């Protein structure tokens, strides 16, 4: 029998360990990105309020529910005041009756003191009724081309604007003109970060997006694809890497990510 050189066996062992670590450990090792959002326009009643954003779960089978459950546990550990989901709960067309009921059971465990808000991503729009049912049954308020003012014990509030995925061709200018409130602190929830430069034409201080999963090669992500982008006027764009990483070798060391935002009034 032919004997393999020891270095060949060593390399093979390293590769096996690497893939095991990536697929069985790192895939479920959730990272929390902490960011402070400070502004004079944040109401005093929201000073110290914590927002948790999660995005891009791309669920497709029961195995992915393990990641969802771990994500819910981590979000609850962070003690969110407001929970924000920025799209792509399921992979395109993957919703089944069984997965739907199991997802509702897990998502319903999320706890927040003020609100749970959601928007739909491009994958969600392949089954919008099914996704909407899952989210609303799990006590999320879905913002579909509309806005919602939240209050925290005073007459001053924060205005959340939620717009459907750009794949549905929403009239962004009209929606932002009608939804922004110059008297409030405005936060935009929009799945794709693509048109952030246009958002600067409106009194919006924060845009929370996902979609790109840390890849500039994703459609619409060549300019903004991960992390924080600050514009010259007032807008800060936060692009969430997402919880379910893309299945390619370039992302084997990528961890699922949650974003935690602490509001501070200047």
Q: Quote the tokens at residue 58.
A: 């791309």
| pTM for this entry | 0.89
Q: Give the 3-state secondary structure of residue 188.
A: strand
Q: Angle formed by the axes of helices 97-107 and 128-137, to 10°?
A: 30
End-to-end CA distance of the chain: 74
Give the position of tokens 């919880």.
243
The yes/no answer on whether domain 31-265 falls in CATH 3.20.20.70 is no
H/E stretch holding 230 reads strand 227-230
Backbone angles phi, psi at 186, to 5 degrees: -105, 130
Q: What confidence tier does 232 reach under pLDDT thresholds 50, 70, 90?
A: confident
Backbone angles phi, psi at 137, to 5 degrees: -65, -25
Tens digits of residue pLDDT in 52-80: 999 999 999 999 999 999 999 999 999 99
Cα radius of gyration rounded to whole Å, the chain? 20
Determine the Cα–Cα distance for residues 43 and 33; give it in Å rounded to an integer: 24
Total residues found in the chain within this entry: 266
**165 or 225: whose pLDDT is higher?**
165
All structural domains of the chain with their residue ranges? 31-265
pLDDT reported for residue 25? 58
Arithmetic mean of pLDDT, 206-214: 89
Tens digits of residue pLDDT in 123-146: 999 999 999 999 999 999 999 999
Tens digits of residue pLDDT in 5-21: 776 666 666 666 545 54
Determine the Cα–Cα distance for residues 39 and 254; give it in Å rounded to an integer: 32
Mean per-residue pLDDT over the chain, rounded: 89
DSSP-assigned letters across all residues of 199-223: HTTSS--EEEE-SSTT-TTSTT-SS
């Amino acid at each position: 029998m032919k004997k393999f050189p020891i270095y060949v066996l060593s390399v093979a062992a390293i590769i096996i360990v690497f893939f095991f670590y990536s697929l069985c450990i790192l895939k479920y090792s959730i990272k929390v990105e902490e960011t402070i959002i400070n502004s004079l326009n944040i109401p005093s009643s929201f000073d110290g309020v914590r927002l948790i954003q999660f995005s891009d779960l791309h669920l497709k089978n029961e195995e992915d529910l393990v990641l969802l459950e771990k994500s819910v546990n981590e979000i609850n550990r962070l003690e969110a005041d407001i929970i924000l989901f920025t799209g792509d709960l399921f992979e395109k067309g993957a919703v089944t009756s069984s997965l739907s009921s199991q997802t509702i059971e897990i998502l319903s465990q999320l706890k927040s003191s003020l609100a749970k808000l959601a928007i739909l991503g491009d994958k969600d729009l392949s089954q919008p009724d099914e996704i909407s049912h899952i989210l609303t049954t799990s006590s999320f308020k879905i913002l579909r081309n509309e806005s919602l003012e939240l209050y925290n014990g005073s007459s001053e509030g924060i205005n959340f604007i939620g717009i459907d995925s750009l794949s549905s061709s929403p009239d962004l200018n009209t929606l932002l003109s009608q939804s922004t409130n110059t008297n409030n602190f405005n936060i935009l929830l929009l799945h794709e970060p693509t048109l952030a430069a246009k958002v600067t034409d409106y009194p919006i201080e924060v845009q929370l997006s996902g979609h790109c999963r840390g890849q500039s090669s994703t459609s619409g992500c060549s300019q903004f694809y991960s992390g924080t982008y600050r514009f010259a006027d007032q807008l800060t764009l936060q692009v969430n890497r997402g919880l379910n990483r893309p299945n390619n070798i370039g992302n084997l060391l990528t961890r699922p990510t949650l974003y935690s935002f602490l509001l501070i009034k200047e």
